[in-house]
Structure 1
Amino acid sequence: MTPDIESLIRAASGRPDEIRAALDKLGLARVAELAVAEWTLRLDPPSNPLEIHIGLSVSDGRETADHTWVLRAGEPVRVLPGLHPGCEVRLRYDAEELITELWGPSRGRSSPSRAYELATAMDTHFPPRERQPSIAAASATLTAALSARAPDLGALAVRYGSDKWGQTHWFTQHYERHFAPLREEPVRLLEIGVGGYENEESGGGSLKMWRRYFPRASVFGLDYFDKSRFSGPRLTVVRGDQNDPAQLDALAKEHGPFDIVIDDGSHINEHVLTSFRALFPYVRSGGFYVIEDLWTSYLPGYGGDDRDFGVPTTMLGLLKTLLDDLHHQERDSDGEPSRDTAGEPSATEAGLVGMHVYHNIAFLEKGRNAEGGIPRWMPRAPHW
């Protein structure tokens, strides 16, 4: 499913003829199926107390594909093939417009410009008075899911059960500060750690949160346990060991490079360092490598050290080393940047351009670290 959606995302960023070509290649039925799945996963929980059927008709000018949503507060949203005879609301969409609406950048679009028509299916009379509030609420749930406004990441964390906000951590405010400029980009995001430990039914909250926050993203999860049940539209979960460089390299070659890598895995210091060394080279320029739960740097049970805070084998020790790598062009006494054994800057010396460290979380910004050192004519000692 993900490759088909990625082709639509690419097309939605381009010209109308590219969208038409993608539509012709996949076919209207497949595009409508993907659109309904994407739209459904973006829905907030319904608030309408009465069960409401809302139909969707998608047309490419030659044929039409129909689906029906069934919404009711406290129940999972259902999707039925075709138009249910009891539909009280019907949405009509041009297929190319819907592709743009779902997977294209907003480019300042506002609600009135969207190409849909909302109309009751009853021609001769208004819906019964007792049903009207539920019809309005269900309609609002559907249309709000296509809003260009960015959903609040903290609220999404709570909705999907991620611990990145409101439980043991307060991370989403920092994530939004750094990720907001990327929100409408077709990013590729990898998160290490799906959650739930060995329980195959538990976890996946953060991955779902990222998929909703980045409407054009392809999201990947890596976990030591089998969490494949969480795979779905724009979300792929892979089983693997974050402490195995060969597995990480294979993962990155198949699914990368990535715009964002987040380590929320075992929090064992050795594992975190192994993952960073293997995956940082696969982060695109302008992207981020994020390390969560820095507190285990002080816990011997996680390979941390509560006595020597400067050891390089902990997460915080890694960050202190990376500060030197960020400034590698200033270190050599002859004014030349330090080099690795091959005579070239290391991956972090050449590619680390920023570090942002907050309580228990660090954002490492990827780029080209080539500003050059301070000129040699600058004094190396005070001369006053």
Structure 2
Amino acid sequence: MTIQFQNQTLNPLIANLEIFKAYQQSPYLSLKHSAYFQVYEELLSQYRGKSITFVEVGVLNGGSLFMWRNFFGPQARIIGIDFNPLAKRWEQDGFEIYIGSQSSSDFWKNFFSAVGPVDVLLDDGGHTNEQQIVTTHEAIPFIKDGGLLLVEDVHTSYFKDFGNPSKYSFINYAKQFVDVVNSRFPGVQPAPQARFKKAVYSVHFYDSIVGLSVDRTKCFTSSWTSNEGQTFEAEDYRHHDSAARQLNQALIKTFHKVGLKVSMGKFLKLVEAPLVKNRLKRFFK
């Protein structure tokens, strides 16, 4: 079942979300893709009714500012950023407005110097690679623990009009944070953007939205633990699903008979690993 809404097909799940109701109640124009509302509801509901500082890059007609006020409640400090000086008009409605280029590191330095740390920053600005990457890079250090950085419209990373596909697209930049999160595990090599491994706790990829959860208290080096329970010394069967294992064992015994000392681990690395790699190629096409 679907609902026709302003010449668009709207999933009924969206219509019942609190954030969508807040969107409809806004007195000024706001344009949002329907899939975004379920992401907002999932990630941002935890901040409702709280004294948070929320920043939105990209004010345009002001409609989303009122949506956020409706959704978060009167205790929220809502700040808008835009490159168009006309956005200052929204200050008369109680919003804080800053004018500047989101692709400028100097702008962000001055912004955070004036505003201080924030709970949530939502980038709905110009959607270029540079704008999204600079905003993310400069904002992470100023997101409070338990906060979020959300970047919208990352589908532009696939659009020719935005200079993509490119090695330097925002989505490729964002993928590095998967390595950042995993680089906290002992023995994993440092990743690009490793400077953020003590700040970014988790990464969320949605349809056209990337979210970074920031919480420095949770970004620690993992260590082995044991509950000291009873053990039956069970054999590790991780390699027993190998079709070549029995053959490998026979070959190793043959090597040993002629004086070549080869361990199973070394044999698997030298002989079986290339075969496995070749079998896996089909999953990366």
Which of 74, 77, 84 aligns to 1:225? It is: 84
Structure 1 residue aligned with 2:113: 253
Q: In the alignment, which residue of structure 1 is the partner of 2:30?
A: 162
Instruction: Give the equivalent residue in structure 1 for 2:72.
Output: 214
Q: Give identity over the alignment, percent.
A: 24
| Distance change in 2, residues 1:238/1:328 (3 Å) | same
Provide the C-alpha distance between the structure 2 equivalents of 1:280 and 1:264, rounded to a whole number of angstroms: 16
Contiguous gaps of at least 5 residues in structure 1: 1-150, 196-202
* Structure 1 residues 332-351: aligned runs within 5 Å: 335=187, 338=190, 346=195, 348-351=196-199
Preserved CA contact (<8 Å) 2:179 2:191: no
CA contact (8 A) 1:156 1:209 kept: yes
Structure 1 residue 354: Cα displacement: 1.6
- 1:231-258 alpha-carbon deviations (Å, 9 max, x no partner): 1354111110001001111101211211
CA-CA distance at 1:376 after TM superposition: 11
CA change 1:259–1:339 in 2 (3 A) is same
Number of the residue aligned with 2:279: none
Cα shift at 1:374: 5.6
Structure-2 residue corresponding to 1:302: 162
What is the alpha-carbon root mean square deviation over aligned residues?
A: 2.6
- Partner SS for 2:125: coil
Aligned to 2:181: 326
How far the C-alpha of 1:315 sits from its partner, in A, is 1.9
Report if aligned partners of 2:151, 2:209 keep a CA contact under 8 Å in 1: yes
Structure 1 residue 173: Cα displacement: 1.8
C-alpha contact (below 8 Å) 1:211/1:235 kept by paired residues: no
Output the CA distance in 1 between the equivalents of 2:148 and 2:25: 25
Could you tell me whether the CA contact under 8 Å between 1:157 and 1:163 is conserved in 2? no
SS at match of 1:221: strand
CA distance in 1, matches of 2:22, 2:67: 6
Distance 1:276 1:356 in 2: 14
Q: TM-score, normalised by structure 2?
A: 0.67
Task: Report deviation, 1:382.
Answer: 5.0
Aligned residues: 209
- 2-side partners of 1:283 and 1:355: how far apart? 14
What is the alpha-carbon distance in structure 1 between the residues aligned to residue 180 and residue 112 of structure 2? 23
SS in 1 for 2:126: coil
Which structure is higher in helix share?
2
Query: Given that residues 180 and 192 in structure 2 are in contact (C-alpha distance below 8 angstroms), is that contact kept between their aligned partners in structure 1?
Result: no
Paired amino acid for 1:366: V
Alignment match, 1:175: 40
Deviations 1:121-140 (A, max 9, x none): xxxxxxxxxxxxxxxxxxxx
Does structure 2 retain, via aligned residues, the 8 Å contact 1:193–1:265?
A: yes
Query: What residue number does 1:283 align with?
Result: 143
Partner of 2:19: 153
Counterpart for residue 370 of structure 1: 219
Q: 1:184 to 1:324 in 2, by over 3 A?
A: same
Query: How far does the alpha carbon of each residue in 1:329-371 deviate from its partner, in whole angstroms, 9 at most, with x for none?
Result: 23x7xx2763889xxx51x211111222211112211012434
Q: Describe the shift of the 1:339–1:356 C-alpha distance in structure 2 as closer, same or farther (beyond 3 A).
A: closer
CA deviation vs aligned residue, 1:251-299 (integer Å, no higher than 9, x gap): 0121121100000000011111011111111110100000000110011
Report the Cα distance in structure 2 between the residues aligned to 1:362 and 1:255, rounded to whole angstroms. Answer: 24
Aligned AA for 1:159? Q
Q: Match of 2:251?
A: none
Question: Which ranges of structure 2 fall in alignment gaps of 5 or more residues?
Answer: 1-16, 227-236, 241-285
TM normalised by structure 1 equals 0.50
SS of equivalent residue, structure 2 residue 92: coil
- 1:320 to 1:376, Cα distance in 2 relative to 1, 3 A: farther
Choose which of 331, 334, 359 in structure 1 pairs with 2:207. 359
Which aligned pairs between 1:8-157 and structure 2 lie closer than 5 A? 152-157=18-23
What is the match of residue 268 of structure 1? 128
* Structure 2: distance between partners of 1:355 and 1:154: 24
Distance 1:232 1:260 in 2: 23
Closer/same/farther in 2, CA of residues 382 and 154 from structure 1, 3 Å limit: same
